[in-house]
Structure 1
Amino acid sequence: MTVSEKDRDILARTLWGEARGEGLAGQIAVAWTIRNRVEDGKTKSWWGEGYAGVCLKPWQFSCWNKNDPNYAYLSGAKPIPAAQFAQAQRAADQVMSGAVPDPTGGATHYYATTMPSPPAWAAGAKETLRLGHHFFFRDVP
């Protein structure tokens, strides 16, 4: 799969928006859930095409919702701190290139432990990893 500079930029911004407090390992795990969606041949049309398409699919990654406080940073209206963005870019590069293995066991979904209750989709899904402030899942019904 050809990965464009736009794909890299959107993936890195998504990692910052979704997991900026998680460190490199947590950002790599989130990036793998996105890569797993990109590579999911069964439902590719539903997930979106490529990294940018998957990340920007409405209501999939809350940091891209216009009412999310991080949206101003992701859209470029406010600058993302350089060191934080550089780490997100490293995570994006490592996952897109396949330089690091998938720590999530094929997860296509995750949610933050800070949510007041698990999302409905988690009820029948297989949990594959708990890392930092995220739970990761695959086989989501």
Structure 2
Amino acid sequence: MPSTDSSSADSRAHDAAILALTLYAEAGDRPLRAIEALAALVMNRHRSGQGHWGQGITGICRAPFQFPCWNTRHPHHARLRAAAPGGAAAHSAQMELCHRVALRALAGALPDPTGGATHMHADDSQPSWSIGRTPVAEVGGLLFYRPEPAEARVRPRGPALALAV
């Protein structure tokens, strides 16, 4: 019977590999601080305990519509394939850096420069969910957002009324 420690170590190694691939494909061409910030975002999602992000680190990284590099039709997917085992970038200095950042994040040794952010996008795009929201951090060309407090999401129940003067 395999030991629990071995399967736990295998799970951590798998999580580190998936997180490193995600970091490389989404931010590997950005400064170290941006890679660290993206890793912090993944850890913030993990700590939130909200199932819609996915289960565990691997689930969070691979959840549909979260990190485009896992979508086979997205341009970042080519970067992910190149960094995967056997790929041209698998042993590149930048991939090794992403792996070290992933290990630090999983060990809880990575500071969070995002202030608790769970959302991000590159500064050269503006997804619809970000319209009207203020980023809490900008790191290496990535904009980071925290969840809005529930009271800030109150929506009007009907159309605004004009007052006759």
Match of 1:34 in 2: 42
| Misfit runs of 4+, over 6 Å | none
Number of matched pairs: 136
SS in structure 1 at match of 2:116: coil
Instruction: Please tell me whether residue 63 in structure 1 is matched to residue 66 in structure 2.
Output: no
Larger Rg computed on CA atoms: 2
Q: Partners in 1 of 2:88 and 2:58 — Cα distance?
A: 20
Which AA in structure 1 matches 2:119?
H
> Mind listing any 5+ residue stretches in structure 2 that lack a counterpart?
1-7, 154-165
Q: Partners in 1 of 2:92 and 2:132 — Cα distance?
A: 39
Q: Partners in 2 of 1:25 and 1:67 — Cα distance?
A: 28
Match of 1:97 in 2: 107
> Mind listing any 5+ residue stretches in structure 1 that lack a counterpart?
none
Q: Partners in 1 of 2:78 and 2:139 — Cα distance?
A: 27
Match of 1:78 in 2: 87
Q: Partners in 2 of 1:73 and 1:100 — Cα distance?
A: 24
Which AA in structure 1 matches 2:75?
P
Match of 1:5 in 2: 13
User: How much does 1:68 deviate?
Assistant: 2.0
CA contact (8 A) 1:125 1:139 kept: no
User: How much does 1:62 deviate?
Assistant: 0.8
Instruction: Please tell me whether residue 24 in structure 1 is matched to residue 43 in structure 2.
Output: no
* Structure 1 stretch displaced more, 74-83 or 30-39: 74-83
User: How much does 1:132 deviate?
Assistant: 1.4
Deviations 1:68-127 (A, max 9, x none): 233244243733252111010111112111212111000001000122xx2121135452
* Structure 1 stretch displaced more, 31-40 or 95-104: 95-104
Which AA in structure 2 matches 1:29?
A
Which AA in structure 2 matches 1:6?
H
Match of 1:114 in 2: 124
* Structure 1 stretch displaced more, 88-97 or 29-38: 88-97
CA contact (8 A) 1:126 1:139 kept: no
Q: What is the TM-score when the length of structure 1 is the normalising length?
A: 0.86
Q: Partners in 2 of 1:96 and 1:26 — Cα distance?
A: 17
* Structure 1 stretch displaced more, 74-83 or 25-34: 74-83
